Amino acid sequence: MANVLKGACIFGQSGGPTAVINASAYGVFRTALDRPEITRVLGAKNGITGVLHDRMYDMGEEDAQELNRLLYTPAAELGSCRYKLADPETDDSDYRRLLEIFRKYDVRYFFYNGGNDSMDTCAKISRYMQKAGYECRVMGVPKTIDNDLWGCDHCPGYGSAAKYITVSCMEVAKDTSVYDTGMVTVIEIMGRHAGWLAGAAGLATKFGSGPDLIYLPEVDFDMERFLADVDRVYAEKKKVFVAVSEGIRYADGTFVSARGPSLADGFGHVQLGGLATTLAHTVKAHNGAKVRGIELSLLQRAAAHLASQTDIDEAFLVGKTAVECAVAGETDKMVGLVRETNGGAYRCTTELVPLSNVANQERKVPRSWINEAGNQVTDAFIDYVLPLIQGEPKLPLECSLPRYARLKKVFAK
Amino acid sequence: MANVLKGACIFGQSGGPTAVINASAYGVFRTALDRPEITRVLGAKNGITGVLHDRMYDMGEEDAQELNRLLYTPAAELGSCRYKLADPETDDSDYRRLLEIFRKYDVRYFFYNGGNDSMDTCAKISRYMQKAGYECRVMGVPKTIDNDLWGCDHCPGYGSAAKYITVSCMEVAKDTSVYDTGMVTVIEIMGRHAGWLAGAAGLATKFGSGPDLIYLPEVDFDMERFLADVDRVYAEKKKVFVAVSEGIRYADGTFVSARGPSLADGFGHVQLGGLATTLAHTVKAHNGAKVRGIELSLLQRAAAHLASQTDIDEAFLVGKTAVECAVAGETDKMVGLVRETNGGAYRCTTELVPLSNVANQERKVPRSWINEAGNQVTDAFIDYVLPLIQGEPKLPLECSLPRYARLKKVFAK
């Protein structure tokens, strides 16, 4: 078996926040702090930029109970970044700096939590360290509400966002149906490249109170067909509830949001109002209906108060597994989630996926999980997403409000 | 004591939805169904318009358990309306129709759930029936997330909206602080005439993760001072989180939202983007900061999943009390909520307020509950609102999603 490798570890968070990203951090920290092979646990401030600037927290200084509360604390508690490392062939200055820092703290384990770009960062660092002859095990920990990461049945962060979207859509459907007058409501949901999040709104419909029409980026958007869809539902029930993915685009590839009206405000052209408002106003101009646009905005990725316990458990699991596998000798892998389908009941395990297979690939919603008309998801989508939103966490509260982790954040010397 | 009055009752819902409005409905229905004096319980479809059109549900046909689920079902389950009755002196046709319907069903109790306008409706109906010599007891049941109803320490619906706003602001504060770059976030909160809802965001700040600046309609808005406030916080911490009430206005009385940029889109002038977006772009134009506008939209009034148990209990209480007092002989009153301050612990009881005192008056946030600079609430506001958001209801769930009441809605014949 692999040799025992002793040394410090670094964990960093990258990309957009999720409701459960800190559960993965806790999975890494708790496991690493308990392993004798790992001599010191460092948390990079603002991802890889914190390593480059030698700004890292000593996680061994934290109180155990506060660390545990990371399970229920949304957004990246260590801070995140959107820094993309250069190709080491053209510019290796960042990599030389990383090697310097790794040597300074005797770092032998590097764990990085993020999406496609972060897995690319992991792969590049791993290759560089190997070339430099510096032994270091590098593991990717998946995270993205977008759920478009290759090599996973689903991604930690997605289930909680899906739950928030579903519950919010159920409430919006209730709210917008109280008056006896016609109304078209358009809700905009995140997902620039794939429709996983918008499709989750179909759960609300399945459970009796959700969007009549859902549009995903996987199907070309056609404004005429959209308006005809709205007219048809309006004629039938006077209320139309539409969910759209922010990433919907026309057949020529341009985003629908990009063609929205823009505003000359004296400071140059500024786009005001998102896709939901744009579509709502297009409907109003078309048929004169009363309209309302709603943007779920960043609330959908930060709503720890509606987190799925399944998602929390799995986010913890990928962090924990990354540490255990690295200690056991693995490197250059991402911890993927696998759905076991034996017997019907949902069960989820992990598998290791080579980083090079994951980086810069996107996973889309299968066309067959969207109905033929391209305006609603099918039962196959519902069956996929329903297990991921299950379970209510016992949230730590203080005066009936969320009690987030309060870390000391002592910088490592 | 008052004579025993036997007959049917009508209950109707009016105005905008809240997360707990149906808890008041349940308070009325459950109590009325159990009282021998009340021979039949009718629920008006879409408020007073349902009475006028003789579209009323026979609540005695409903399953008891489904009725109970009204406690956790958001928005007006019977449907609502925004219909304003004419002055009976100038046009009494609606009143004659109401009297006809009251006679048809032998209605002797009328309960109406709403805000200022609805109490006005109650008062008018009561006066007309008295003049017509038709014995009928009329009671108002308060409801409004805006919390501006006169004659109440606070209104059912407010506590749950305040809780949603607080938790959402805590999550937004977490989310917008993850990157190491400057950012100004502006969140728009409901409240056209009073700042009760926007002020609740101060709870998030008090609990460690909320808006740096809060602007209420009770203080004249000054754009220069606002930009100076933002600059000051930005210089200090690079992140600025601003909460604004939709109702903020300039010293001359015009709404800040009304002066926002509007868009000529070929269909005439259309206002795109709300107040948050407008202010965010004003900040961007002023200092070049990265900005984000968020509108909590109708989510804040429909979020039963974050309801306050205190609010649910009190919403039920006002409905129940309205029936009990009417049966005991009261009429022409609204059931107000009173805060008992003995001993420090929060306790809430009811008192009856003459309808004529309530109708068309507005209750504002005291100036002394807003700091001198007019950009944050004081501890007096926090002390006021904190008890109102307490308690987590045990929500009925189905597959981890809200299980709302499913009523049969059988029309009365």
pLDDT one-digit tens code per residue, B13-37: 999 999 999 999 999 999 999 999 9
Rounded Cα distance, B26 and B141, in Å: 12
Nearest CA in chain A to B260: A265
* Mean pLDDT calculated for residue range A51-70: 98
- Mutation site, A170, A171, A277, A310, interface B, largest B CB count within 10 A: A171
- Residue of chain A nearest B394, judged by CA positions: A392
Cα A210 to Cα A167: distance, rounded to the nearest angstrom: 9
pLDDT > 90: percent of chain B: 87
| pLDDT exceeds 70 at position B269 | no
Q: How far is A152 from chain B (nearest CA, A)?
A: 23
Instruction: Find the catalytic residue in B58, B146, B212, B229.
Output: B146
Residue written as tokens 């308070």? B27
A212 is catalytic: no
Place of tokens 């996983």: A196
Taking an 8 Å cut-off on Cβ atoms, the answer to whether A261 and B263 are in contact is yes
Q: Name the residue in chain B with its Cα closest to that of A274.
A: B273
**Chain A residues within an 8 Å CB radius of B402:** 167, 170-171
User: Nearest to residue B320, comparing CAs of B118, B7, B29?
Assistant: B29
Residue B355 near residue B332, CB atoms below 8 Å:
yes
User: Looking at the partner chain, which of A267, A285, A294 has a beta carbon nearest the beta carbon of B285?
Assistant: A267
| Distance in angstroms (rounded) separating the CA atoms of residues A340 and B221 | 58
Nearest-by-Cβ selection for A81 from B180, B305, B389: B180
Interface probe, candidates A73, A257, A401, A404, chain B, greatest B C-beta count within 10 A: A401
Q: What integer pLDDT is reported at residue B260 of this predicted model?
A: 53
CB contact under 8 A, B263 and A267: no
Extract the tokens encoding A317: 């699991």
Could you report the per-residue pLDDT of A296-305, keeping only the tens digit for each? 999 999 999 9
What per-residue confidence (pLDDT) applies to A258?
A: 79
Nearest CA in chain B to A47: B179
Substitution target from B55, B401, B404 for chain A, most A beta carbons within 10 A:
B401
Mean pLDDT score across all residues of chain B = 93
Q: In this model, does residue B284 exceed pLDDT 70? A: yes
* Contact flag B404-A209 (C-beta cutoff 8 Å): yes
The per-residue pLDDT for B341 is 77
Distance from the Cα of residue B289 to its chain's centroid = 35
As a whole-number percent, the residues of chain A with pLDDT over 90 amount to 87
Amino acid A359: pLDDT? 72
Q: Residues A58, A146, A311, A313: which is the catalytic one? A: A146
Q: Is residue B263 pLDDT above 60, yes or no? A: no
B381: Cβ–Cβ under 8 A, 6 or more apart, which residues?
Answer: B199, B202, B365, B369, B370
- For residue A36, the model assigns a pLDDT of 97
Query: How confident is the model at residue A263, as a pLDDT?
Result: 40
Measured between alpha carbons, how far is A392 from B374 in angstroms, rounded to an integer? 39
Q: What average pLDDT does range B291-298 have in this prediction?
A: 94
Are A361 and A150 a contacting pair, CB within 8 Å? yes
Positive or negative: CA dihedral B107, B111, B114, B120: positive
A104-121 tens-digit pLDDT: 999 999 999 999 889 999
Nearest CA to CA, how far is A40 from chain B (Å)? 24
- pLDDT class for B267, splitting at 50, 70, 90? very low
Q: Report, as an integer, the average pLDDT of A246-262.
A: 83
**Could you say which of A17, A303, A304 has the minimum Cβ distance to residue B178?**
A17
Q: Are A112 and A121 in contact (CB under 8 A)?
A: yes
CB contact under 8 A, A172 and B401: no
Among residues A248, A234, A225, A191, which one has the least CA distance to residue A372? A225
* Nearest C-alpha neighbor of A198 from the set A146, A124, A233, A149: A146
Question: What is this model's ipTM?
Answer: 0.95
DSSP B70: G
pLDDT digits (tens, 9 = 90+) for B197-220: 999 999 999 998 999 999 999 999
Contact between A175 and B398 using a beta-carbon 8 Å cutoff: no
Buried b (16+ CB within 10 A) or exposed e, B319-353: bbbbbbbbbeebbbbbbbbeeeeeeeeeebebebb
Q: Tell me how close the Cα of B39 comes to any Cα of chain A, in angstroms.
A: 28
- Here the tokens at position A9 are 């570890």
* Predicted confidence (pLDDT) at residue B229 exceeds the cutoff of 60: yes
Q: Decide if pLDDT at A194 tops 70.
A: yes
CB contacts of A286 in chain B (<8 Å) are none
Q: What is the pLDDT of residue A266?
A: 34
Contact A261 B277 (CB under 8 A): no
To the nearest whole angstrom, how far is the Cα of B155 from the nearest Cα of chain A? 19
Q: What pLDDT is attached to residue A273?
A: 53
B283-289: long-range pairs with CB below 8 Å, 24+: B283/B184, B283/B186, B283/B227, B283/B230, B284/A267, B284/A270, B284/B184, B285/A265, B285/A266, B285/A267, B286/B227, B286/B230, B286/B231, B287/B227, B287/B230, B287/B231, B287/B234, B289/B182, B289/B183, B289/B184, B289/B230, B289/B234, B289/B240
Convert the pLDDT of each residue in B41-82 to its tens digit.
999 999 999 999 999 999 999 999 999 999 999 999 999 998
Structural contact between residues B157 and B302, judged by C-beta atoms closer than 8 angstroms: no
Whole-number pLDDT of residue A356: 86
Choosing among B73, B272, B407, which should be mutated to test the A contact, i.e. which has the most A CBs within 10 A?
B272
Task: Report phi then psi at A330, rounded to 5.
Answer: -75, 150
The contacts of residue A407 (CB under 8 Å, 6+ apart) are A57, A62, A66, A67, A77
At residue B353, does pLDDT exceed 90? yes
pLDDT number for residue B322: 98
Report CB contact under 8 Å: A180, B79.
yes
* Helix segments in A185-274, DSSP class H: 196-206, 223-237
Using CA atoms, how far apart are residues B338 and B382, in angstroms rounded to an integer? 18
Best mutation target, B113, B178, B203, to test chain A (most A CBs within 10 A): B178
pLDDT for B375-400, tens place per residue? 999 999 999 999 999 999 999 999 99
What the block records as the tokens of B83 is 């219909």
A305·B180 Cβ contact <8 A? no
Residues of B in contact with A171 (CB under 8 A): 74-75, 299, 302-305, 402
Residue in chain B lying closest to A280 (CA): B272
pLDDT surpassing 50 at residue A127: yes
Q: Which two tokens stand for residue A214?
A: 């859902």
Facing residue for B166 by CB, picked from A46, A163, A401: A401
Cross-chain residue pair A302–B399, CB shorter than 8 Å: no
Which 3 state secondary structure label does DSSP give B347? Answer: strand
pLDDT at residue B84 greater than cutoff 60: yes
Residue B248 has pLDDT above 70, yes or no: yes
| Spatial CA neighbour of A389 closest among A197, A171, A245, A142 | A197
Chain A positions in Cβ-Cβ contact with residue B305 (cut-off 8 Å) = 167, 171, 306
Chain centroid, CA B111 distance in Å: 17
Give CA–CA dist A170/A210, Å, rounded: 5
Give me the residues paired with residue A11 across strands. Answer: A43, A111
- Percent residues over pLDDT 70 in chain B: 96
pLDDT at B299: 95
Q: Report the range of poorest mean pLDDT among A87-91, A229-233, B10-14.
A: A87-91
CA distance B283 to B278: 9
Residue B262 scores a pLDDT above 50:
no
Task: Tally C-beta pairs within 8 A across A and B.
Answer: 194
pLDDT computed for residue A257 by the predictor? 87
Is A207 in Cβ contact with B401 (below 8 Å)? yes
Residues in chain B: 413
- B325 within 8 A of B218, measured Cβ to Cβ: no
**Residue B350, SS3?**
strand
Residue appearing with tokens 């159920």: A170
pLDDT at A38 over 90: yes
Q: Give the residue from chain A lying closest to B168, CA to CA.
A: A299
Tally of residues, chain A: 413
Q: Are B339 and B346 in contact, with CB atoms under 8 Å apart?
A: yes
Average of pLDDT values for A227-234? 98
**Closest CA of chain A from B172, distance in Å:** 7
Cα gap B50→A67, rounded to integer Å: 56
Q: Cβ separation of B203 and A401 shorter than 8 Å?
A: yes
User: Taking 50 as the threshold, does the pLDDT of residue A71 lie above it?
Assistant: yes
Nearest chain A alpha carbon to B398: A207
